[in-house]
Amino acid sequence: MATVESTAAHDVDLDPIFAAIEAHRRAEAEFSAALGRLSDLENELPEERRRSEIKMGVLAIVLEDDSRWVEIQRTVMATCKITDEAATNLLNTRPTTLAGVVAALRYAYDFERRGLEFPGGYDDGDLSECPWGVQWSVYFHRNLAQAIEAMIVGQRPSQS
């Protein structure tokens, strides 16, 4: 009898969602590591040597800052961007198997359960109800529903 795990192991090669999950997992690990290094430097350097900061996605550099502080700010900004891009890719990758749907749901649950957040502000072209965009999860749920519907339609016997 097949289990979810054995089915998922087989589907890894068939379903692109597994690669998208892994890419996001790696990007998030890099971003978290950069934040850890930032925190370490924050504890090590005096405040007057770490005034450069990221504001609204732009790095404002203070020339007198320690070069390590400026470099870690750049690294945090770059890894954040890569993580957001991986989250968008995960969002736009439609699972092609039920094991993929389960894996995507579990991954999103585990990610958010740890207090982490996917990006927000997505725009589907109609911002009349929500002018600042919507959260990642709104499209995630929609896309998973569409994926499941496509699987259901694909399993129906064709009518001749």
What pLDDT is stored for residue 123 in this prediction?
74
Among 34, 29, 27, residue whose Cα is nearest residue 71:
34
Query: 138 or 32: which carries more pLDDT confidence?
Result: 32
Q: Across-strand partners of 122? A: 134
Q: What is the mean pLDDT of residues 65-94?
A: 95
- Distance from C-alpha of 47 to C-alpha of 85, rounded to nearest angstrom: 32
Residue 67: phi and psi, rounded to 5, are -60, -30
Q: What pTM does this model have? A: 0.82
Average pLDDT over residues 48-70: 91
What does the longest C-alpha to C-alpha distance in the chain come to? 77
Can you tell me whether residue 154 is helix, strand or coil? helix
Q: Say if residues 135 and 122 touch (Cβ distance below 8 Å).
A: yes
* Burial of residue 55, with CB atoms counted within 10 A of its CB: 0-12 exposed, 13-18 middle, 19 or more buried: exposed
**Phi, psi (degrees; rounded to nearest 5) at 54:** -95, 125
Question: Tell me: the pLDDT tens digits for 18-53?
Answer: 999 999 999 999 999 999 999 999 999 999 999 998
